[in-house]
Amino acid sequence: MQAACRTVCWDMGNRNINTVIIGAIVAVLIAGLAYLAFVAVQKRSQQRHVKELVVDTTQKLRQVLGSRTSPDYVAPLDANVKQARAPRDPRLTDAAEQYIIGAREIARRRVEVDRLTREAAASRQALAGHMAHASQRNAAWLNEAVVLKKRVEEDHFNLGMELKALDQLLYTLPEAEKSLAPHVGRAALIDDGLRDAARKQTQDDMRRAADDLARARHLNLR
């Protein structure tokens, strides 16, 4: 009878151990599933946030490219770059960062082009006004003419550099779009037609600036 009791106790002990083990396994599985669910929710939240930033970036870029006088969106776009983080989806982070940085630099160059275009026009006007008083030519007049021509050259050099940089940024933007489109959808990105039109305008501005400089160079100092 004692042997039978020991057998029963042994069986009960084994069952208790098995129950504990199974319970532990179930708890681990539940915890694992809960963690995976948390990760999935967190990933979707991060993806949604980054897409919202991309859409906001595209809206601002449309305004930058669609207006002759570009609004200054450099600071807001820089803020978008810093916030576009999806640690659960590093590929999205990299693609979004590349696109938003491109948009920010386009906005920066457009603002600089607007400013330098005005400065170049003002320096040409100042030179033309000075040259119109040719009857007053003397050493002081000639020295001032040289200074004004140098200013025209510098302003046009800086304008040309900004226009070339802007043209290159518009040319390379599709590469960033190509990487980002699978994550956010093509509709969230800038329109091809608007980007192409902005690039054509930039190239026209480059030719116009070169023509303006050539005319200014033909003003006779003698």
110-167 pLDDT, tens per residue?
A: 999 999 999 999 999 999 999 888 777 788 888 898 999 999 999 999 999 999 999 9
Q: Which has more confidence, 206 or 136?
A: 206
Range with lowest mean pLDDT among 24-38, 55-69, 114-128 = 24-38
- In this model, does residue 43 exceed pLDDT 90? no
Query: Would residue 8 count as lying in a domain?
Result: no
Query: Would residue 11 count as lying in a domain?
Result: no
- In this model, does residue 201 exceed pLDDT 80? yes
Query: Would residue 92 count as lying in a domain?
Result: yes
d(CA 208, CA 75) in angstroms, rounded, equals: 30
> Taking the C-alpha atoms of 111, 112, 113 and 118 in order, what is their torsion angle to the nearest 10 degrees?
100
DSSP single-letter state for residue 138: S
Tell me if 184 sits within 8 A of 54, measured CB to CB: yes
Q: Which has more confidence, 43 or 145?
A: 145
Query: Would residue 7 count as lying in a domain?
Result: no
Query: Would residue 35 count as lying in a domain?
Result: no
Instruction: Quote the domain boundaries for residue 163.
Output: 47-217
Mean pLDDT over all residues of the chain? 86
Q: What is the pLDDT of residue 110?
A: 95
d(CA 108, CA 97) in angstroms, rounded, equals: 16
DSSP string over 19-60 = HHHHHHHHHHHHHHHHHHHHHHHHHHHHHHHHHHHHHHHHHH
Query: Would residue 14 count as lying in a domain?
Result: no
Within 13 Å of residue 62, how many CA atoms lie on the same side as its CB?
A: 13
Q: What is the pLDDT of residue 187?
A: 94
Query: Would residue 30 count as lying in a domain?
Result: no
d(CA 196, CA 40) in angstroms, rounded, equals: 38
User: What pLDDT band is residue 6 in, cutting at 50, 70 and 90?
Assistant: low
Query: Would residue 193 count as lying in a domain?
Result: yes
Mean pLDDT over residues 29-52, rounded?
71
Q: What is the pLDDT of residue 140?
A: 87
Count: domains in the chain: 1
Tell me if 189 sits within 8 A of 54, measured CB to CB: yes
